[in-house]
Amino acid sequence: MEKIKPKRLEKGDTIGIIAPASPHYNRSDITRGIETLEEWGFHVITGENLHNKHEYLAGTDQERAHDFNEMFRNDEVDAIFVTHGGYGSARMLRYIDFDLVRKNPKIFIGYSDITSLHLAIQKYTGLVTFHGPGMAGFNSEDLTDYRKEYVFKALCQQEPIGEIRKANEKKWINRIQKGEAEGELTGGNLTLVCASLGTPYEIDTKGKILFLEEVWTEPWNIDHMFTHLYNAGKLQEAAGIVIGECTDCGPKKMDPGFHVTFSLEDILYEFIEPLGIPAIHGLPIGHTKDLATLPMGVNAYLDATNKKLFVKESGTR
């Protein structure tokens, strides 16, 4: 699929807000995010079904897909921000008009459950999308300087982002396997990446820099998902692998029927190190306070020997 880039976001542009997954708990979370975007100089409109609730979903599959399609159809909308992730994005894939998306390229940003949408859009349209924060966290409590910096670097500047640096110099980046690799960025949340396997939206990792992140998941379950990726050949095909911080992914005090001894790092070393593929672990990607925004589908360079990842190509035009 030919690569398509959306227009760079500029002050005065219109941002459309949709909720493709779970509903928001407090309406004020969305209001605060909208006020922040307006303070930055953007015009904001919201999806028709933004405040809907259908059990644990932000409306029915058709309602959420309707808002998604309408934002891409609306010529006045320059970028589409999601409220947050949660659950349910994959349920609406069958209702998305990918031809409409391809003909109306726009910035689309989100992460976590939104991984399902990123992978499907990549597969069926070639549009560069952005793995980054939901706008429900665009407020003075949640929006760190680091988050804000990388959102603007990814969406608003003409130059490539460059290095995805540590958010805090006290943080540690772990080298799993040294080496260098170049390739397009793909990936997202580990659970959702695995869920794409065997579907029409299956992730393509061949020759690419695969980034993965996870949250609230024990090592034995991460073992299960890495086994799935390995058995599907997805780890072996990657040019390089980048693992995010993986928040709260240690063993819990519970008995799943057997003794749990593996740590997250044990799993990463066991699956990735023997592949001989350059790989690091610990960059601020995913469910972490300081979250870097990554354009998906652009060229990147991984210097695992020196524990660095560089985005070499702008995600916008």
Catalytic residue numbers, as ranges:
112, 213, 287
Report the SS3 class of residue 142: coil
> Do the bridges between strand 162-163 and strand 174-177 make them parallel or antiparallel, or are there none, so unpaired?
unpaired
CA distance 182 to 195: 26
Read off φ and ψ for residue 209, nearest 5 degrees: -90, 110
Report the SS3 class of residue 180: strand
Please list, in sequence order, all residues whose beta carbon lies within 8 angstroms of the beta carbon of residue 287, skipping any fewer than 6 positions away.
112, 213, 214, 215, 245, 247
> Do the bridges between strand 162-163 and strand 129-131 make them parallel or antiparallel, or are there none, so unpaired?
unpaired
Assigned token pair, 287: 């469910």
Question: What's the N-to-C CA distance of the chain in angstroms?
Answer: 18
Read off φ and ψ for residue 312, nearest 5 degrees: -95, -10
- Helices of type H across the chain: 27-39, 61-73, 98-103, 115-125, 145-156, 190-195, 219-231, 234-237, 264-272
CA distance 36 to 95: 31
Assigned token pair, 156: 């608003």
